[in-house]
Amino acid sequence: MARIDLKRELKHLYSPSAKAVVEVDVPALRFLMIDGQGDPNTTPAYAEAVEALFSVSYTAKFMVKRAAGIDYAVMPLEGLWWADDHAAFAANDRARWRWTMMILQPDVVEDAVLEAAITQVRDRKRLPAVHRLRLEWFVEGRCAQVLHVGPFTEEGPTIERLHAFIAERGRLAGKHHEIYLSDIRRAHPAKWRTVIRQPMA
């Protein structure tokens, strides 16, 4: 059986160092996405969005495995975060945060497969957020990124390092981007690994 390892193929994007901020050029990538608003810790819509993303992504994975004999690991959850009023975002007013949660899809997963996976999950699991999923190409281009190790509540100093790096080379552009490499249900918060990425101009 053939196997695809996107994390290895895109190592420079998904395995940065925690020691130094680096500049990367992010190409157009194809994601299953879903939008929402509110505190991710308390808003039911957030948990529903994540459940829908993973359910469809795993369903598509097994469809490809059965039909084409190709296996791959489902990619980690990613999130774009912002607020209509930047002050609300900077002040950690999570009730006013907006987000797009997303999972990268390999090229081998054709649009028709994802549409079939969405239909199957909708019919079998009746998940409330499935109808809000969309497939979209996303282009970030020039970005800076760094790995944060530890709980999300302690990201502040890491983000400051990232922004300082960008300020020396240009300015912030686009949305705050996080890639969640750890399974937070199992790993200790002190060991959580999160890629923090910020587009720059």
pLDDT of residue 184: 84
Task: State both tokens at 143.
Answer: 């970005």
Task: State both tokens at 193.
Answer: 């690994």
pLDDT of residue 87: 73
Rounded Cα distance between 166 and 161, Å, is 9
Mean of pLDDT values over 119-123: 96
Checking if the pLDDT of 127 tops 70, the result is yes
140-157 pLDDT, tens per residue? 999 999 999 999 999 999
Checking if the pLDDT of 187 tops 80, the result is yes
pLDDT of residue 161: 97
Domains of the chain from N-terminus onward: 1-27+140-201 (3.20.80.10), 28-138 (3.20.80.10)
Mean of pLDDT values over 82-108: 86
Checking if the pLDDT of 88 tops 70, the result is no
Rounded Cα distance between 6 and 8, Å, is 5
Strand duo 176-180 + 193-199: pairing: antiparallel
pLDDT of residue 186: 87
What is the maximum alpha-carbon separation in the chain? 51
Task: State both tokens at 3.
Answer: 């196997």
| HSE-up (13 A, CA, CB side) for residue 166 | 23
3 state DSSP class of 90: helix
pTM of the model: 0.94
pLDDT of residue 115: 96
Checking if the pLDDT of 113 tops 70, the result is yes
Q: In what order do the strands lie in the sheet with 29-37?
A: 22-26, 141-149, 193-199, 176-180, 77-82, 98-104, 29-37, 134-138
